A = this chain, B = another copy of it.
């Protein structure tokens, strides 16, 4: 059983309305010193019957094809187990 953790974030320079709103909400709740907040997706994928390198190749392919919109998003992932 292999577990992949995929992190998808907006590219630098792309406005993040959700991050901005969360920052305002937190400041409204008296939190100080917040420089910036970026909201992204965290996807946990469990695979079986794969070697680590096979999993690596497949997860990268999944990200390129579906999980990330490479026009506005970056992705990175870690493979465990």
Q: What's the tally of chain A residues with a CB closer than 8 Å to chain B?
A: 34
Complex copy number for this chain = 2
Asked whether, in the complex, the Cβ of B33 is within 8 Å of the Cβ of A66, the reply is no
CB–CB B47/A33 < 8 A: yes
Complex: A48 Cα to B62 Cα, angstroms:
36
**Given the complex of chains A and B, what is the CA–CA distance between A35 and B81 in angstroms?**
14
Are A47 and B34 in touch, CB under 8 angstroms? yes
Q: CB < 8 Å: which of B8, B19, B26, B46 contacts A62?
A: B26
Question: Closest 4 interchain pairs by CB?
Answer: A42-B42, A35-B46, A40-B42, A33-B49
Q: Which residues of A contact B (CB under 8 A)?
A: 1, 7-9, 19, 22, 25-26, 29, 31-50, 58, 62, 65-67
